[in-house]
């Protein structure tokens, strides 16, 4: 039986894989960074979390996840402010505020919901590749 940590990691990987597979690309196969709008090859793109990953209520929430360059996500000091501006522009202030509210809740991951979400993303990836 997989530990909760391994299930969380597996779901993180599957969500990232799905997001990269379905992301729009330019003529050179690059994906646009949500935060600064620069284009990068998939190896330099990762899932960015607006609300920190340690907040389990928002960790896998679609409104909290966007693709961005590794450099922007990890090293640019003001990236969270830019992220917030872009997110408000994309989904609206109300939904961004909802993320803050969800982040303040206490959520405990469980095997049933994690396994269910893992199966969901495995199916989505399989379906996308079949089309």
pLDDT given for residue 131 in this prediction: 79
127 in a structural domain: no
Burial class (CB in 10 A: 0-12, 13-18, 19+), 17: middle
In a domain, 54, yes or no: yes
Residue 113 has pLDDT above 90, yes or no: yes
- Tell me what pLDDT residue 16 has: 98
Pair 30, 41: CB distance under 8 Å: yes
Average pLDDT over residues 109-118: 96
Domain assignment present for residue 128? The answer is: no
pLDDT tens, 2-25?
999 999 999 999 999 999 999 999
- pLDDT one-digit tens code per residue, 20-63: 999 999 999 999 999 999 999 999 999 999 999 999 999 999 99
Provide the domain count of the chain: 1
Q: Which SS3 state, helix, strand or coil, does residue 66 take?
A: strand
Could you tell me if residue 46 is inside a domain?
yes
Q: What is the DSSP string of 27-55?
A: TTS-EE-TTT--EE-GGGEEEEESS-TT-
Domain annotation covers residue 32: yes
Q: Is residue 126 part of a domain?
A: no
Helix, strand, coil percentages in the chain from 3-state DSSP, rounded to 5: 60, 10, 30
Q: Which domain holds residue 13?
A: 4-110
Write out the two tokens for 74. Answer: 């990890």
Domain-embedded: residue 27: yes
Query: Is the distance from CB of 91 to CB of 129 less than 8 angstroms?
Result: no
User: Average pLDDT for residues 71-75, to the nearest whole number?
Assistant: 94
The predicted model gives 55-79 an average pLDDT of: 96
**Average pLDDT score over residue span 61-83:** 95
The pLDDT, as a whole number, for residue 5 is 96
Query: Is 125 part of any domain?
Result: no
Q: Percentage of the chain surpassing pLDDT 70?
A: 100
């Amino acid at each position: 039986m997989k530990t909760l940590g391994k299930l969380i990691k597996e779901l993180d990987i599957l969500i990232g894989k799905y997001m990269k597979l379905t992301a729009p690309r330019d003529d050179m196969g690059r994906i646009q960074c949500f935060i600064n709008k620069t284009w990068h090859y998939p190896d330099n793109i990762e899932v960015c979390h607006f609300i920190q990953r340690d907040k389990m209520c928002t960790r896998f929430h679609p409104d909290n996840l966007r693709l961005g360059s590794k450099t922007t996500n990890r090293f640019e000091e003001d990236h969270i402010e830019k992220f917030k501006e872009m997110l408000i522009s994309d989904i609206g202030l109300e939904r961004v505020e909802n993320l803050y509210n969800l982040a303040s809740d206490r959520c405990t991951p469980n095997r049933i919901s994690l396994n269910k979400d893992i199966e969901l993303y495995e199916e989505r990836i399989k379906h996308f590749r079949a089309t």
